[in-house]
Homo-oligomer: A and B are copies of this chain.
Amino acid sequence: MQETRLDTARIRAARPVIDPIFLDSPLYPCEALEPVLGCTVSIKLETANPVRSFKARGTELVASMLADNGPRAVVCASAGNLGQALAWSGRGRGLDVTVVASRFATAAKLDRIRALDARLELVDGDHEMARERAAAIARRDGIRLLEDSLDVETCEGAATIGLELVDTAPAFDTVLIALGGGALATGVGHVMKALAPEVEVICVQPLGAPAMTHSWRRRRVVTTDSTDTIADGVAGRRPIPAVLNDLLLVADDAVLVQETSIIAGMRMLLDHAGLVVEPSAALGLAAILEDRDRFAGRHVVTIVCGSNVDVDAYHRWVRVERSAWPTAEF
């Protein structure tokens, strides 16, 4: 295939750099989901670690490089999970970490970033404004700007999940990947295409934040003016051209799902798997719910990519869901 920016040998070499606490996350079939979804669903659980998301796989690489021979200060924009991960990876290596986030970001994520000793700067706008502000800080202070999905370490860190999927029997048919900026999708997708090309790579994005999916479908960057989704972790408006190029090489499909399906997916993971997840982590189940025929009888892996939620919002979502979707239907 045409080559992505990612490199399989570098991805393998990344494993020993990443704190093992983030590696070899659980991968297991959740049989209780089978009768309700009509397919075999295996969960790749990226939430049972100190930052409750997969993002530290990438920030470990970045922080390790900076600690070895880079500037000791780094800034990133984040919806919350990247910032938390960078704060964790930076703290252990004595780095000076600044995170820029929207003041509308999930409060639980912002609280954790502060608790991890990072400097937190809030902007009165959305994630795209946070990205601009982070870039301005980097220019002003001459420090490293970490850009999620553009910096290849964020993609190759996420790609170590792909290695673990490939190395763990039994085989599966499809992997469902939350699509936001594209680090997770291009990372895991790259490994699948390189090492398990028979596996179908399907990216899933909310209808309310469809920029990357529209871009993938039209094979050129499509931006949107706003986003409207509870899946804060994937709510971007301006896809990065280099990331789109990679995504075009590795994704077999990109689908959009409704908010009600995301909430139904969250509720199912709570009821049938005992997992509290953030909306982005339920995108995979939402995709199955919206197209059961497509997945019927298949073995699907879904990456449960984060669990940082505001507790009250979470309970409000899953409670609403219970009345909106009769139990009998699932």
Shortest CB–CB separation between residue A326 and chain B, in angstroms?
15
Please report which residues of chain A, range 9-31, place their CB below 8 angstroms from some CB of chain B when the two chains form the complex.
21, 24-31
Instruction: Please tell me if the beta carbons of B50 and A29 are within 8 angstroms of each other in the complex.
Output: yes
- The digit string for A257-294, where 1 denotes a CB below 8 A from any CB of B, is 00000000000001100111100000000000000000
The yes or no answer to A48 lying at the interface (CB within 8 A) is yes
- The verdict on A137 contacting chain B, using a C-beta distance below 8 Å, is no
Q: Are B24 and A49 in contact (CB under 8 A)?
A: no
Q: Which residue of B lies closest to A47 (CB)?
A: B274
What separation, in Å, do the CA atoms of A115 and B33 have in the docked complex? Answer: 12
User: In angstroms, how far is the closest chain B Cβ from the Cβ of A321?
Assistant: 13
**Total copies of the chain:** 2
Interface residues contributed by chain A, number (CB under 8 Å): 30
- A144 close to chain B: CB less than 8 A: no
Residue of B nearest to A309 (CB): B274
A50 contacts across to B, CB distance below 8 A: 28-31
Q: Is A112 an interface residue (CB 8 A)?
A: yes
Bound Cα distance from A27 to B50, whole angstroms? 9
> What is A's interface to B at a CB cutoff of 8 Å?
21, 24-32, 43, 45, 47-50, 52, 112, 115-116, 270-271, 274-277, 307-309, 311
Besides A26-B26, A32-B115, A270-B276, 11 other CB < 8 A contacts? A21-B27, A26-B48, A28-B50, A31-B112, A31-B115, A45-B48, A48-B48, A271-B311, A274-B276, A274-B308, A274-B309
A-B contact pairs, 17 of them (CB 8 A): A26-B26, A26-B49, A28-B48, A31-B50, A31-B116, A32-B112, A32-B115, A45-B48, A52-B274, A270-B276, A271-B311, A274-B275, A274-B276, A274-B277, A274-B309, A275-B275, A275-B276
